[in-house]
């Protein structure tokens, strides 16, 4: 809709709106507001806010010629209207605006401005040349239901230890399941932050959430696990991702964070004659960060094992690469059950290839043993029965 207000107007996208909402929900503490120029420089110099780690300035610098013209025309104390996708999203009372270098901003987030780096160019195109700060209010702000549900679960379970995992589950495979089980073993409540990206290079969030819910509801004590959607905006990108994950998890009420050893933001650097990771840079955020083992399938152990405990070489191990498993699914193939639970792959294929078969019922009754009763079957049923045939051994 078009605003009838006389205020000057800025336009932002959903990623920027998501970040602004995180602050209003208290999920980026120690950040409580948009930073002015002096505060931004201090964060860049120290990497701290009030003695607590925060990796880069929290600013609003929307791109576009129209946005730049409006920002440069603003006066201190003036109210500006912020639109997101054509809808009135927030109002802001101007404190100041200041010039930024978009290339430097991208470096602060990703650690590089190399255009071949995933995300660098996308973020660069979203950045303007001026940042704006001031007190803002989100219009029609709704309570954060996830935060409330975590507090209720903690109270119900009397939970002292609340552990978080951040994952895409794109798709949910056996190593994810192992990591979830191992984490749940040593905590009272597990919060799984399920990433909700802004691109299409993933299974849809709804498919991934339903698959994760199936696993939790059927194979775990479901009262001890909560799924929280986490909009995977630009601030979670790059080598500082784990720091932001830890800050958000802490502010959601978690006191532990478990990350996989192959987490994209883990990285290693050399400091004072010892190998350290990005985790060692976290200061003042009262949360225990654990780096979990990498799980593989070993054809000698004949089970899922930690690489730390398996004595057999890499040539005996199958690693779990979600992108490769997803590619198999996108080609319409059933991944082996050792990679992904058959109920989950069957569900995903039925969502990716709707009405794939010309005569599903005939194909079903011609291919599988049946009770003799005429029953209606879904494509998911077909994939499940097909997997059972793959798993027979007398003729293999």
Domain 145-296: CATH superfamily is: HUPs (3.40.50.620)
Tell me whether the CATH fold assigned to 9-138 matches the one assigned to 145-296: no
pLDDT of residue 47: 92
pLDDT of residue 6: 59
pLDDT of residue 278: 55
pLDDT of residue 40: 97
List, for residues 17-58, the tens digit of each pLDDT value.
Answer: 999 999 999 999 999 999 999 999 999 999 999 999 999 999
List phi, psi (to 5°) of 187. -145, 160
Place of tokens 């440069």: 72
What architecture does CATH give domain 9-138?
Roll (3.10)
Kindly report each contact of residues 339-342 with a partner whose C-beta sits within 8 Å and lies 24 or more positions away, as own/partner: 339/173, 339/174, 339/297, 340/171, 340/172, 340/173, 340/174, 341/172, 341/174, 341/177, 341/215, 342/383, 342/384, 342/387
Which tokens hold the place of 239?
Answer: 């080598």
pLDDT of residue 329: 96
CB atoms within 10 A of CB 379: 19
Give the residue ranges of the chain where pLDDT is below 70. Answer: 1-6, 261-281, 372-374, 393-396
List, for residues 146-165, the tens digit of each pLDDT value.
Answer: 999 999 999 999 999 999 99
Which tokens hold the place of 24?
Answer: 């209003």
The domain spans of the chain are 9-138, 145-296, 340-391
pLDDT of residue 4: 44
* 294 within 8 A of 306, measured Cβ to Cβ: yes
Which tokens hold the place of 86?
Answer: 């054509």
């Amino acid at each position: 809709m078009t605003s009838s207000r006389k205020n000057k107007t800025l336009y932002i996208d959903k990623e920027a709106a998501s970040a602004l909402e995180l602050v209003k929900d208290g999920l980026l503490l120690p950040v409580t507001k948009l930073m002015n120029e002096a505060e931004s420089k201090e964060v860049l110099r120290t990497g701290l806010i009030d003695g607590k780690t925060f990796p880069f300035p929290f600013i609003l610098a929307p791109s576009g010629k129209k946005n730049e013209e409006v920002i440069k025309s603003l006066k201190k104390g003036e109210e500006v209207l912020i639109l997101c996708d054509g809808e009135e999203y927030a109002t802001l009372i101007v404190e100041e605006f200041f010039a930024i270098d978009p290339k430097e901003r991208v470096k602060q987030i990703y650690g590089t401005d190399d255009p071949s780096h995933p995300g660098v160019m996308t973020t660069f195109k979203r950045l303007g040349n001026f940042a704006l700060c001031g007190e803002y209010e989100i219009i029609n702000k709704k309570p954060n239901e996830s935060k409330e549900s975590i507090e209720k679960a903690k109270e119900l379970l009397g939970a002292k230890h609340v552990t978080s995992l951040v994952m895409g589950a794109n798709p949910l495979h056996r190593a994810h399941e192992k990591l979830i089980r191992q984490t749940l073993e040593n905590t009272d409540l597990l919060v799984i932050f399920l990433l909700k990206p802004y691109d299409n290079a993933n299974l849809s969030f709804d498919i991934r959430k339903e698959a994760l819910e199936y696993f939790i509801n059927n194979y775990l004590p479901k009262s001890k696990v909560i799924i929280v959607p986490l909009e995977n905006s630009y601030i979670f990108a790059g080598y500082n991702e784990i720091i932001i994950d830890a800050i958000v998890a802490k502010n959601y009420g978690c006191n532990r964070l478990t990350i996989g050893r192959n987490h994209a933001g883990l990285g290693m650097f050399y400091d004072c004659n010892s190998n350290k990771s990005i985790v060692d840079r976290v200061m003042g955020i009262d949360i225990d960060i654990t780096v979990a083992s990498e799980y593989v399938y070993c054809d000698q152990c004949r089970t899922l094992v930690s690489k730390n405990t398996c004595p057999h070489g890499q040539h005996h191990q199958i690693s779990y690469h979600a992108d490769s498993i997803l590619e198999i699914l996108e080609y319409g193939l059933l991944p082996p059950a050792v990679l992904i639970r058959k109920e989950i792959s069957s569900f995903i294929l039925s969502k990716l290839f709707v009405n794939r078969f010309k005569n599903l019922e005939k194909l079903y009754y011609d291919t599988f043993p049946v009770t003799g009763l005429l029953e209606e079957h879904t494509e998911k049923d077909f994939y499940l029965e097909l997997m059972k045939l793959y798993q027979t051994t007398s003729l293999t």
